[in-house]
Amino acid sequence: MLQDAAMVSESRDLGKGQAKCPECGAALKSKGKRSRKLKTQRNQEISLERDYAQCPKCKTGLFPLDRELGLLEGELTPQMQQSVARLGTWIAFERAAEEIRHFTGTVVSKATVHWSYKLLFATSGGSEKSGITLSQFRRQL
């Protein structure tokens, strides 16, 4: 938990550099602060306040800090998400949710396990088309 919290709090200033649009390269303009809550161990929530930025040319909107931190979508900190997803590759999602609750004290749903698992699989280069099988994926972890 402390590691996750420190990662988030030490990085509050990271998004202040001149972020560029990933689509066209133009300088992004801040559209104000938005907060996001991330759940970590012992069911504690970390609140992250960061800029929402938009491209003046192509209107692409994003959170530069989320990108710098490598935050994926979802309610969990990256460390929690990784743990949940890894467990989800070995045991049934419902059981994984119970084990996460037992070992970390954090309440996650079966759907969150499934979703985290799919996200990890996708960000590891896996997809139905890529031909990476589940057992190959497990060996990579």
Q: How far is the CB of 64 from Zn ion (least distance, A)?
A: 13
The stretch near Zn ion (CB under 5 A) out of 34-42, 50-58, 73-81, 116-124 is 50-58
**Can residue 24 be called a binding residue for Zn ion (CB under 5 A)?**
yes
* Choices 16-24, 31-39, 75-83, 132-140 (CB under 5 A): range interacting with Zn ion: 16-24
- CA 42, 76, 85: angle at the middle one, nearest 5? 100
Q: How far apart are CA 91 and CA 125, in angstroms?
A: 21
Cite the beta strand spans of 40-81 per DSSP E. 45-54, 61-62
Q: Does position 141 bind Zn ion by CB under 5 A?
A: no
Task: Report if residue 57 touches Zn ion, rule: CB under 5 A.
Answer: yes
Q: What is the rounded distance in angstroms from the CA atom of residue 69 to the CA atom of residue 38? A: 13
Near Zn ion by CB under 5 A: residue from 27, 58, 111, 134 = 58
**How many whole angstroms separate alpha carbon 29 and alpha carbon 50?**
13
Q: Would you say 20 or 95 has its CB closer to Zn ion?
A: 20
Q: Does 55 bind Zn ion (CB under 5 A)?
A: yes
28 binds Zn ion (CB under 5 A): no
- C-alpha torsion 75→77→78→83, nearest 10: -90
What residues line the site for Zn ion (CB under 5 A)?
Answer: 21, 23-24, 26, 55, 57-58, 60
